[in-house]
Structure 1
């Protein structure tokens, strides 16, 4: 399995606070790696370093073998890294299809003048973007809602729309920050299946998620953080039995985590 994204001894300080320290792992093509940990463990901070929102204080980020440490988000996106966020970033007043089309902006190669004058090349690009956006909506099972206002979708459908827009960048790796947060059991299962399908297509997936059933079910590897430091790494069965993980989640006297959720 080829390495797509690699974190090497990543750390970041905010003033006197060491928020993340010594985190390292690799995500291969078609692999799902989950990052878990109690609240405040540093999961989103780690994502922000990997996606260029924060520049690490130490360590390196490799994307396809290239050192991309500290590159801004738009340059990482051009290199094949796409992400979603904890809070929805949907244009509520636009249609579902229009939201999906916005994800293709990095693929556009036309000039502003061409678009303003609606020249043939501009019309061809717009038509191709609409066709590809509709195909993405079918992939996330929203093709029947293409012409609806995005604001009228259920919360779970909006989460899937965000994933569709992230996929429009044609990423090599997709970072998903709590994609099932706020979803009911049915919506979570739909997102679970979608993530598995994305990975099966060859895209690497890095996931932060609090739903342990989902994490244990779909992850090839799990990285556990506690107070910014890695305390365990391995498959679901290994991680769920690790005493340090059990203590971090449930306290020193807890009986254990259930790998089956």
Structure 2
């Protein structure tokens, strides 16, 4: 069974169909990328899957459960995490504190226990700290744990955001332009990290403008144009598809514009 199944999703704004009847699935350990020209509906699609927008039509299933329109925090508790185009990092907190913050949604203790520092609360705090350090090691930031997050490079901050998303016992990870703003070295580090996360069995759905990165790491690609799926398949086949080439006509197919879709 697919971990994430998108079935006929659609939404309109002011009578204009932003996304229309899009379907695909993501299996455990698979990297699926959604690409398309500017304004193709990629971010809108992400927003429907992750509970930011309520679809007008269609279904989102997470591990077989219909979760269409569920709020992001409810999806997180079921194993779906998302990163955003713009960093959602607490710049004035340490790297470790940022990672620990990702564990809070998993906690089921009472406010009373936390307020009075009862044993259950202290145990959860220890577990979160231990888990956060393990995640930082996983994303190559173990040595930066006590640094202020704002002092990190942009690429390191992107990896920190992925670490925090993984704190939620993630089964499906949605990455919204994880390499945007990164230099070539930082992009390669994120490439390797995404591949390692997928290898652990996490299903990854990716929106990314860096076509070289997409072609390098994706198992499967979904192409949108004006909200409609125009192609789907393995990277090699998609890159040769006449519909895809036509959709990107007027831009460099290798490097589409970095404006948000």
Structure-1-length-normalised TM-score: 0.95
Q: Secondary structure at the match of 2:181?
A: coil
Cα separation, 2, equivalents of 1:257 and 1:162: 27
CA RMSD of aligned residues (A): 1.4
How far does residue 53 in structure 1 lie from its aligned partner after superposition?
0.4
Superposition pairs for residues 181-196 of structure 1, below 5 Å?
A: 181-196=180-195
Residue-by-residue CA offset, 1:145-164 (whole Å, 9 max, x unaligned):
00000000000000000000
Q: Runs (4+) of structure 1 moved beyond 4 Å?
A: none
For 2:242 and 2:51, the matched residues in 1 are separated by: 33
* Alignment check: 8 A CA contact 1:241 1:257 kept: no
Asked if structure 1 preserves the Cα contact closer than 8 Å seen for 2:85 and 2:176, the reply is yes
Task: Tell me by how many angstroms 1:250 deviates.
Answer: 2.3
1:257 Cα deviation from its structure 2 partner: 6.2
> Does the 8 Å contact 1:178/1:207 carry over to 2?
yes
The residue aligned with 1:202 is 201
**Alpha-carbon deviations, 1:150-205, whole Å to 9, x = none?**
00000000000000000000111000000000000000000000000000000000
**Residue in 2 aligned with 1:174?**
173
Mapping 1:1-261, distance limit 5 Å: 2-251=1-250
Unpaired segments ≥5 residues, structure 2: 256-261
Give ranges in structure 1 of 5+ residues lacking alignment: none
Paired with 2:254 and 2:117, the residues of 1 have a C-alpha distance of 59
Task: Indicate the SS of the match to 1:3.
Answer: coil
2:259 aligns to what?
A: none
Does the aligned pair in 1 maintain the 2:211–2:254 contact within 8 Å? no
User: Does the 8 Å contact 1:96/1:161 carry over to 2?
Assistant: yes
Cα offsets for 1:86-138 (capped at 9, x unmatched): 00000000000000001001221221121121122211111110000000000
Give 1:8 shift: 0.7
CA-to-aligned-CA distance 1:43-71 (integer Å, 9 cap, x gap): 00000000000000111111111111111
Distance 1:99 1:151 in 2: 11
CA distance in structure 2 between the partners assigned to 1:60 and 1:108 by the alignment: 29
Answer yes or no: is the 8 Å Cα contact 2:89–2:98 preserved in 1.
yes
Residues 95, 160 of structure 2: 8 Å contact kept = yes
For the residues of structure 2 that align with 1:66 and 1:231, how far apart are their CA atoms? Answer: 27
